[in-house]
Amino acid sequence: MRTFFLIAFLIVALASVVPILSNNSASSASVLIGIQEEISIILKKIFQLQKDLDFLKAQKPEVEVYVAPPADIEEPAVNVRTDYIPLVSHNLQEGLVVLYKFSVTAGPDRPEVIDTFTFVIEKQDISLKRLELYAFADSEFTTSAFTTNPAGKYTASLDDERKTVRITITNGEGTPAKIPAGETYYFELRGISAGKNISARITTILEGFAAEILE
């Protein structure tokens, strides 16, 4: 808009100079009058244009930008939790030995089907056989969780010093073994050891959890 006023100023300045340069010429009087009238018309148009622009600016609505808050991301519910239970004794004897204990808790929304547990067994200077996984409905390990106990067995050879063992759970009824919603079942891995030497040791690891070492 400053450009409009600059043009108007130049036109007015020119109109004021021309009469001085040509005041001795009577014939130019009518021409100067015409120029001044044209200048007046131009100035009126400029002022009107300025008013129109001011009006349009006043009428332009302000645009409000709404920024939505970030949506809450719900973490998927975990319906099962497995916990390691430390052994009370780590004394390795010949005969029946408890190798590992853990618990599995089903979430509150639905029962949890349990299928297979994976262990890593390492041993030295001792033999181990007849791995059995028992399932209990109480933390005292006294009440069987399923119709049959042990709920799973491993009957393959354990001659290797390090062995990955997978034990499948059954409920003794021919249907998938389940932990009721909101309940916890307790598991105990047992084996039979023999031929113990002075440096005998058995290390048992439930996949993803701490190791238990008997020696």
Q: Scanning the structure block, which residue is given the tokens 């042990």?
A: 150
Q: What is the pLDDT of residues 178-201, one digit of tens each?
A: 999 999 999 999 999 999 999 999
State yes or no: pLDDT of 59 exceeds 80: no
Q: Identify whether the C-beta of residue 145 lies closer than 8 Å to the C-beta of residue 135.
A: yes
pTM of this prediction?
A: 0.64
Q: Scanning the structure block, which residue is given the tokens 């890593």?
A: 120
Cα dihedral across residues 165, 171, 172, 176: positive or negative: negative
What CA–CA distance (Å, rounded) separates 150 from 16?
117
Q: Where are the domains of the chain?
A: 2-21+29-59, 80-214
Neighbours of 17 (CB within 10 A): 10
Cα–Cα separations (whole angstroms), residue 198 to 15, 121, 124, 125, 160: 122, 19, 10, 8, 19
Q: What is the pLDDT of residues 94-151, one digit of tens each?
A: 999 999 999 999 999 999 999 999 999 999 999 999 999 999 999 999 999 999 999 9
State yes or no: pLDDT of 80 exceeds 70: yes
What CA–CA distance (Å, rounded) separates 135 from 151?
6
What do you get for the CA distance between the two ends of the chain, in Å? 95
Residue 23 token pair: 């005041």
**Among 143, 134, 141, 208, CA closest to 177:** 134
Residues 6 or more apart from 78 whose CB is under 8 A from it? 107
CATH class of 80-214: mainly beta
Average pLDDT, the chain: 83
In this structure, which amino acid lies at residue 152? Answer: G
- Looking at residues 4-23, what average pLDDT do you find? 53
**Among 62, 46, 59, CA closest to 6:** 46
42 burial level (CB within 10 Å; 0-12, 13-18, 19+): middle
**Among 194, 177, 86, 176, CA closest to 130:** 194
